[in-house]
Amino acid sequence: MEKLIEILEDIEPEVDFTSCKTLIDDHILDSLSIISLIAELEDEFDITIPTVEIIPANFNSAEAMLALINRLQEEE
C-alpha cells in the first residue's frame, strides 16, 4: 500500500488517499490522471490492467486499486 500511496501522491499531491473513497466520483482523479496512474501501476507492480478493469469501482479508492493490483498479480 505504501508504494501505491507514493504513486498517487506523485500524481495528485494534495489529496489524502488513505481516507478518500470517492476519487473518481468526486472527480479528484481525471482521465489524464487515470492514464498516468495506470502506466505507473503497470510498471511498478509488473501487471497489465485490461481495459475492462478500467472502471470507477476499481479506482475510487487506494484500497480498491490495491485489490485490483493483488487480483491481477495472482492471475499472472
DSSP state of 60: S
Find the helix or strand (DSSP H, E) in which 9 lies: helix 2-11
**pTM given for the model:** 0.95
The domain spans of the chain are: 2-12+21-75
- The per-residue pLDDT string of the chain (76 residues; one tens digit each, 9 = 90 and over) reads 999 999 999 999 999 999 999 999 999 999 999 999 999 999 999 999 999 999 999 999 999 999 999 999 999 7
Pick the CATH number of 2-12+21-75 from 3.40.50.300, 3.30.70.1520, 1.10.1200.10, 3.40.50.11900: 1.10.1200.10
